[in-house]
Amino acid sequence: MEKVSYTRMKDMTARDTALIEADFRAGAAELPDRILEAVRVLEGFQGAMPVNRLEHSLQSATRALRDDRSEEYVVAALVHDIGDELAPYSHGPMVAAILRPFVSERIAWIIEKHALFQAYYYAHHLGADRNARDKYKDHPYYADCVVFCERYDQSAFDPSYDSLDLDYFSDMVHRVFKEPKAGPSIEAAY
Per-residue pLDDT reduced to its tens digit, 53-80: 999 999 999 999 999 999 999 999 999 9
- Looking at every residue in the chain, the average pLDDT score rounds to 92
Confidence class for position 1, pLDDT limits 50, 70, 90:
confident
Q: Is 88 exposed, middle or buried (0-12, 13-18, 19+ CB in 10 A)?
A: exposed
User: 9-54: per-residue pLDDT in tens?
Assistant: 888 888 878 888 887 888 778 999 999 999 999 998 778 889 999 9
Percent of the chain clearing pLDDT 90 (strictly above): 73
Instruction: For 122-175, give the secondary structure using H, E and C.
Output: CHHHHCCCCCHHHHHCCCCCHHHHHHHHHHHHCCCCCCCCCCCCHHHHHHHHHH
> What mean pLDDT do residues 101-126 have?
97
Rounded to an integer, the average pLDDT of 154-172 is 98
Contact (CB, 8 A) for 148 and 160: no
Q: How far apart are CA 47 and CA 139, in angstroms?
A: 34
Q: Answer yes or no: are the C-beta atoms of 56 and 81 closer than 8 Å.
A: yes
pLDDT average, residue stretch 70-92: 95
8 Å CB contact between 20 and 116: no
What is the spatial distance between Cα 57 and Cα 43, in angstroms, rounded to a whole number?
Answer: 10
pLDDT at 111 over 80: yes
